[in-house]
Amino acid sequence: MSTAMITGPTAGIGRAFADKLAADGYDLVLVARDKERLTEVGAEISGRYGVDCEVLAADLTNPVQLAEVEERLGNEGRPIEVLVNNAGYGAKKPFWANTIEQEEHQFDLLVRVVLRLTHAAVVPMISRGSGAVINVSSVAGYFQRGSYSAHKAWVTNFSEGLAIELRSKGVAVMALCPGFVHTEFHERMGMDKTIVPSFMWLNAEDLVNGAWADLMKGKAVSVPSLRYKVITAFGRYTPRALIARLSTVGLDGRRRG
């Protein structure tokens, strides 16, 4: 039976991936900071789907704990066939209102951790000639909305380039670029969800099913729904000065003046 590792699996997109992959018969390695909640989720998923759920409690911004997760990814005796890099958060304040330590913490989790875990995963995958990595990015990466958008732009570009390089080696890499999704993410940011039109919100389960279908099709980037495909096309091809004038609400959930 194949095994998948998911970071940030206790709620939202990560939990939807855990349910999807467990339903498809994957054993799971679940990675998050909260060991108690992680254990509860693992037991629930194992009981529901009859798969093994290995719990790996780790703060991925801690170098020692990150190294433990990397070591698990490189364990050839218990190979990881799918990695979902989902752990992340958005800062509540704009760049200049955060301390540099807060900015570095977000950078480490959204960029450095994705870099290191992807590397740890793809090296053994290349040796086996099979495997897949899904890096959860954001449509925010197509717009100029501060450091969060910059981090997600890197994730998308990095994943897309790596997908091209590794396709011939039997390893799939894909960036998933959701927009607003009904999860805990925006609540943790303190966002007023009423400022976003209802049609802009996505369901996490539908998002994950679509993403998995895109991965099976060999896509390097998955953008859910027609409305977000239009939005990302706008961000990709519209002059940046025009985007800056038109954007009053960032895709990271903050209203801009």
Give 126-172 pLDDT, tens digit per residue. 999 999 999 999 988 787 778 999 999 999 999 999 999 999 999 99
The answer to whether 5 and 83 have CB atoms below 8 angstroms apart is yes
Phi, psi angles (nearest 5°) of residue 152: -70, -30
Cβ atoms of residues 134 and 171 within 8 Å: no
Instruction: Report percent pLDDT > 70 for the chain.
Output: 79
Q: What is the pLDDT of residues 91-140, one digit of tens each?
A: 878 899 999 999 999 999 999 999 999 999 999 999 999 999 999 999 88
For residue 115, the number of C-alpha atoms closer than 13 Å in the C-beta half-sphere is 11
Report pLDDT for 233: 64
Does pLDDT of 192 surpass 60? no
Average pLDDT, the chain: 86
Provide CB contacts within 8 A for 168, sequence distance 6+.
none
The structural domains of the chain, with segments of one domain joined by +, span 3-246
Q: Which of 49, 148, 228, 237 is catalytic?
A: 148
Whether 148 sits among the annotated catalytic residues: the reply is yes
Q: What is the pLDDT of residue 191?
A: 47
- The reported pLDDT for the residue numbered 128 is 96
User: pLDDT tier at 248 (50, 70, 90 boundaries)?
Assistant: very low
Lowest mean pLDDT among 24-33, 41-50, 195-204: 195-204
Band (pLDDT 50/70/90 cuts) for residue 224 is: confident
* Strand-pair partners of 45: none
Percent of the chain with pLDDT over 90: 68
- The predicted pLDDT at position 193 comes to 47
Q: By the 8 A CB rule, do 181 and 13 touch?
A: yes
Nearest-angstrom CA–CA distance, 118 and 133: 7
Task: Look at residue 254 and tell me whether its pLDDT is greater than 50.
Answer: no
Q: What is the pLDDT of residue 253?
A: 43
Phi, psi dihedral angles at 89 (to 5 degrees): -160, 165
Label residue 236 by pLDDT band (50, 70, 90). low
Topology classification of domain 3-246: Rossmann fold (3.40.50)
Beta strand pairing call for 131-136 and 180-181: unpaired
